[in-house]
Amino acid sequence: MKSWFRGIGSVAGIGATMVALTVLAAEKSGKPEARAPKDAKAKKVVISNGGSDTMVNLAQMWAEAYRQVSADVSVEVSGGGSGVGIRDLMQGMTQIANCSREIEGTERDLIRKKTGKDAFETVVGYDAIAIYVHKDNPAESISMEQLAAIFSAEGTVERWSQIGVSVPGQYDRIIRVSRQNSSGTYLYFRDRVLRKKDFKLGSCDMSGSKDVVELVARTRGAIGYSGMGYATTHVKMLRIRPAKSTEDIAPTVENVQNRKYPLARALYMYTLDKPEGHLGSYIEWILTPAGQQVVRMAGYVPVAGVSHP
C-alpha cells in the first residue's frame, strides 16, 4: 500500500501536515499569501461546515490551509455523520453539508419544502470504504459474499474458521465493528454489501470513522469498515473480491479512480442552491490543484489529476 495512506487521516497526521498545507495553499492557490485585514476590527466571515465523519479530518485540513488563502474567512468544521449534515443544512445550522453518500430524493424534496431552495451538489473527492482487520490477522482478502455473511442479519458466519482463516490464539470469534445509522458510510455499506438488508445485531457500533479503526487495532478478532484515509500501521486493509469474480482488488488510488474497487464512492459537499460569495470561493478553491492536493495528503483520491511525489 502506498505510504500516503498510512496515518495521515489521524489527528497526529493532521498536525504533522499543517506546515506543508500552509505552504501548499500559498504557493498553489494562484493567489498571493493572504494577510490580515488592515482594519483590526473587521469582522471575520465564518463558514459552517458539518456532517460526514469520514470527511471530518479532510475538512479540517482544508479549513486550516484556506486560512493562508483568505485570512478574513474562518471555516468551522463539525462531524456527526452525513445524515446530521443534511439535517443541519435543512435547518439552517450549517452552510455546507459534508456527505460520504449521495443525498436521497426524499431528502432533496424535504430541503426544497422547508427552505425553498435546492440542494446543490459538488463532488470534492473520492474514497474507498476499506475493510479493516487487526495487523496480525493472517487474512489478506475477503469476498463480497463473505462480508454479507458476516454483517447481514441473514448471514451465518460467526467465526474466522468458517471462511478459512486461522487467527492465532483464542480469537476465532468474529467481532463486528460497524457505524451508527446516521453515518453515510453505514448506509453505503448496507446498500452495496448487504443489498439493503438489515445488519446483524450484536456489532460494536461506533460514532466515528477513526473509532472503528482504533477498535479494530486493539481487537485481534475484529473486522470493521471505514474510509481508507483512516488506515494506520496497526491495522490491515483487505483486498475485496467482487461478486462473480476471481480477482481480489486492493483499495488503491488507481483502483478507486478506475472504479475497479467495488466499494469506491464519491465524497460530496451540499449547499442550498449554487454557492456564491465567500462560500462559493471556498468550494472553488477546494477544486483547485491546491485544494485537491490536500485530498491526496489526507489519504483520499482527488477529483482531478494531482501529481504524486
Please indicate, yes or no, whether residues 7 and 86 belong to a single structural domain of this protein: yes
Say how far apart CA 123 and CA 133 lie, in whole Å.
29
Taking phi over 0 as left and psi of -120 to 50 as alpha, with beta for the rest, 272 belongs to beta
In a domain, 43, yes or no: yes
Please indicate, yes or no, whether residues 30 and 111 belong to a single structural domain of this protein: yes
With a CB cutoff of 8 Å and minimum separation 6, the contacts of 113 are: none
pLDDT tens profile 74-84: 999 999 999 99
Please indicate, yes or no, whether residues 121 and 187 belong to a single structural domain of this protein: no
CATH of the domain at 168: 3.40.190.10
- Mean pLDDT, consecutive 10-residue segments, the chain of 309 residues? 36 44 47 42 86 94 96 95 96 97 96 97 96 98 98 98 94 97 93 96 95 97 95 97 93 91 96 97 97 94 63
Number of domains in the chain: 2
Contact 17, 306 (CB under 8 A): no
Q: Strand (E) positions, the chain?
A: 45-51, 73-78, 96-99, 119-134, 141-143, 175-179, 204-206, 222-227, 235-237, 239-241, 264-272
With a CB cutoff of 8 Å and minimum separation 6, the contacts of 260 are: 249, 254
pLDDT tens profile 12-25: 344 444 445 544 55
Of the candidates 57, 115, 66, 62, the residue with the CA atom closest to the CA atom of residue 86: 115
Please indicate, yes or no, whether residues 50 and 167 belong to a single structural domain of this protein: no
Is the pTM for the entire model greater than 0.85? no
pLDDT the model gives residue 147: 98
pLDDT the model gives residue 176: 98
Please indicate, yes or no, whether residues 174 and 213 belong to a single structural domain of this protein: yes
Please indicate, yes or no, whether residues 157 and 276 belong to a single structural domain of this protein: no
pLDDT the model gives residue 15: 45
Q: Name the residue range of residue 26's domain.
A: 3-126+266-297
In a domain, 308, yes or no: no
pLDDT the model gives residue 43: 78
